Amino acid sequence: MTIFRIYMDLGRCAIERTEGVEIRIHLQPRASKTEIVGLYGEAVKIRISAPPVDGRANAELCRFLARQLGVPQQYVQVISGVNSRQKRVFIRGRTLTEIGASLTHSTSPINM
């Protein structure tokens, strides 16, 4: 799946709010590397190398998204699904258009 396809379908997976954007994520912990894989139903699938123990996968997810989107880590927050693979993540201070642009213009857009 190309990053352009994810950008085009981001509207299916995200809701723009006044303060930022809420994105549905399907998380796969304990992967060989941390990367955005593509779409998984109505969510963006992200593989995370950290295990789902003591919140480490959630912390790595927030660090990864902050780095990819160019926002401070405290602007990325898991708001639902802390103990689940299905998550809702809120990115404060960005619009849907800015998030799509960050994904397409990143030097390493889909993996780290």
Instruction: Sketch the domain layout of the chain as residue ranges.
Output: 3-105
pLDDT tens-digit map of 3-25: 445 555 777 899 999 999 999 99
Write the single-letter amino acid at 27.
L
CATH number of 3-105: 3.30.1200.10
Model-wide pTM > 0.75: yes
In order along its 112 residues, the chain shows pLDDT tens digits of: 444 455 557 778 999 999 999 999 999 999 999 998 888 989 999 999 999 999 999 999 999 999 999 999 999 999 999 999 999 999 999 999 898 887 765 534 344 4
Are 41 and 26 contacting, i.e. CB atoms less than 8 angstroms apart?
yes
